[in-house]
C-alpha cells in the first residue's frame, strides 16, 4: 500500500464575477463599496482581473491582496 506524505487537499482558485467578488471581499453590505467604484478601481488597474471573451472574472485572493497593498496605510512608530 502506498502512503502519501501530503494529506492536505489543494483547492484550485475559483473565478467569480464582479458582484460576487464584491460580496466575498466585503461581507458587510453596509461597508461594501458600490459596483461603480469597484469597476473604476478595475479600470485604474487597482484590481487584477481575467478577461475571457467579453466576460470579466476575478480571483478573490488576488483582488484582496491587491486592495490591501493599495489601500493599507501603515502607522508611523
Any idea where the domains of the chain sit in the sequence?
A: 15-71
Residue 74 belongs to what H/E stretch? none
Q: CB under 8 Å to 13, separation ≥6 — which residues?
A: 59, 60, 61, 62
Q: Could you list the mean pLDDT of each consecutive 10-residue stretch along the chain, which spans 77 residues? A: 53 85 95 96 96 96 95 87
Q: Quote the DSSP letter at residue 30.
A: G
Report pLDDT for 2.
54
The model's pTM:
0.76
Q: Which three cell numbers stand for residue 71?
A: 489601500
What is the SS3 assignment for 16? Answer: strand
Report pLDDT for 3.
55
Longest pairwise C-alpha distance within the chain:
57
Amino acid at each position: 500500500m502506498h502512503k502519501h506524505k501530503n494529506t492536505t487537499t489543494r483547492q484550485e482558485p475559483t473565478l467569480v464575477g464582479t458582484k460576487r467578488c464584491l460580496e466575498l471581499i466585503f461581507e458587510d453590505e453596509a461597508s461594501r463599496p458600490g459596483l461603480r467604484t469597484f469597476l473604476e478601481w478595475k479600470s485604474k488597474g487597482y484590481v487584477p482581473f481575467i478577461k475571457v471573451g467579453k466576460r470579466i472574472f476575478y480571483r478573490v485572493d488576488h483582488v484582496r491582496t491587491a486592495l490591501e497593498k493599495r489601500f493599507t496605510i501603515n502607522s508611523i512608530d
